[in-house]
Structure 1
Amino acid sequence: MTPKDAPRGSGVLVIGLGRFGAALAATLDRLGREVLAVERSASLVQQWSGRLPLVEADAANPEALEQLGAAEFPVAVVGVGSYLEASVLITGNLVDIGMPQIWAKATSAEHGRILRRIGAHHVVYPEYDAGQRVAHMVSGRMLDYIEMEDGFAIVKMRPPRETQGFTIGQAQVRKRYGVTIIGVKPPGEPFEYATDATRINAGDLLIVSGDTTLLEKFAARP
């Protein structure tokens, strides 16, 4: 049976315990997902020993991946970004064993193109994405910002003053601003799905979706 044909488990293989990889692996572990971290630095292995399931190995070596059973995982994340050669070698090794889902960290557009060309299914840019999110948040009432595709985003924000004290239907949010309030969280209460009858108060948090340009305008209103 070849590695590609072999049965796979349900865990996530995280390669590299830098800031990105460590945060990812720790979050997966906290969520109860099966995770195995792989790190070649003895000092990082020592730092995370007892806190995460991990092995000390150089994933740029195909034999090391074979020995740790990488082919049994359905998903791998390459958190190595600073060393381009290592990032490319590790991603290539995962492609060679037929890894169904490969997520890889890139530090530049050129780096990302190389990773996609050799077979990475998803490329992420943590520093760029974080900078973009913060830029949107510091420019208005946004408390969180997630951009999807084709200019569509979902944001968490405080309500503009002109909507406070009105229901969503009364404020005509969709008609006047072109965005959709999909959830409202009053202070101390859970989020609830929004309807036209949902009242917006000053202390509420809103979850709003729509075109990024329209969301920016809505969030920038006093």
Structure 2
Amino acid sequence: MKLFKKVREVCIIGIGRYGSAIADQLLKDRENNVRVVLVDGDEKHLIPYKDEVEMIYVADCAEQKTLEALNVTDFDVVIVSASNNIEIVAALAEMGVKSIIARATSPRHAQVLRQIGVTSIVSPEEEAGKRTALIVANPNLTLYSKNMVELQDGFVSASIHIKNVDMFNKKISELGFRNKYNVSVTMINRNNMTYLPEGDFEILENDLLTFIGKTEDIVDALEFCANSKNNRNTKER
């Protein structure tokens, strides 16, 4: 019997740079079973998506009657990407929306959103600041910063496509990432399929490996994955 994943209904309110980035990412992966509806007060922000998403609405969501007309309580997730979002979020919470994700522009803003009832809070500016500081403090991260995410207590998550020929057709246990670099392989993406690998998982060329570890250890592991020549020379010495 074939099992079907439930389609998740997502509404994004505010299609500026941040909102459009979310929409683009959701639309990029057509197999994620997400149906997207976009809402913005400016029609020009919505026009690029008119043939891409389930529905677009030109509306000012600061008024609760607008949200009621959109049937926002029917959505699995409502994302409020506009920065001036207090009134919108308050109305959504009052209406009983199941899951609200909102953008905060400061710690104080985040605190207010949390008190109102936001399920998840994101701070793009704060994350960008952390990423920049991370790169400045660790110059070797520049090459690998694109797919790096700061976690807690000095740990980061990073992904890289495997180019080192010394890794091809080797099992994770053979490569010894934990012992040599003090990092863990948490996920592998291959041909648009994602795996949670065990030690006997075999690495192939162009696999996308995701690691978790301390910043300096991650850099060493990524350099090994990216450059076989330098690593062979190191082994010979």
Task: Say yes or no: TM over 0.5.
Answer: yes
Number of equivalent positions: 207
Contact 2:27 2:52 in 1 (8 A): no
Shift of 1:216: 4.5
Q: Residues 28-39 of structure 1 correspond to what in structure 2 (within 5 A)? A: 28-30=26-28, 31=30, 32-39=33-40
Equivalent of 2:79, from 65, 77, 100? 77
CA shift at 1:65, angstroms? Answer: 0.4
Q: What pairs up with 1:1-222 in 2 under 5 angstroms? A: 10-30=8-28, 31=30, 32-52=33-53, 53-81=55-83, 84=84, 87-133=85-131, 135-136=134-135, 139-140=140-141, 142=144, 144-149=147-152, 151-157=154-160, 169=173, 172-182=176-186, 193=197, 195=199, 206-212=209-215, 214-216=217-219, 218-219=221-222
Aligned partners of 2:12 and 2:80 also within 8 Å: yes
**Aligned partner of residue 212 in structure 2, secondary structure:** strand
- The separation in 2 between residues aligned to 1:98 and 1:111, in whole angstroms, is 21
Q: Secondary structure at the match of 1:90?
A: helix
Specify the SS of the correspondent of 2:97: coil
CA RMSD, 1 decimal: 3.8
- Structure 1 residues 205 and 70, CA gap change in structure 2 (3 angstroms): closer
SS at match of 2:34: coil
Q: Which runs of 5+ in 2 are unaligned?
A: 1-6, 225-229, 231-237
Asked whether the 8 Å contact 1:101–1:121 carries over to 2, the reply is yes
3-state SS, counterpart of residue 79 of structure 2: strand
> What are the ranges of 5 or more consecutive residues in structure 1 without an aligned counterpart?
1-8
SS at match of 1:139: helix
Q: Distance in 1 between matches of 2:113 and 2:104?
A: 8
Is the 1:184–1:194 Cα contact (8 Å) retained in structure 2?
no
User: Quick check: 1:160–1:218 contact (8 Å CA) kept in 2?
Assistant: no
Listed one character per residue, the Cα deviations across residues 20-42 of structure 1 (whole Å, up to 9, x for unaligned) are 11222243345352121111123
Change (3 A) 1:117 1:198: same
> Partners of 2:98 and 2:8 in 1: how far apart?
12
1:50 positional shift: 3.8
- Give the structure with the higher percent helix: 2
Contact 2:157 2:213 in 1 (8 A): yes
Matched to 1:67, the amino acid is: A
Distance 2:124 2:41 in 1: 21
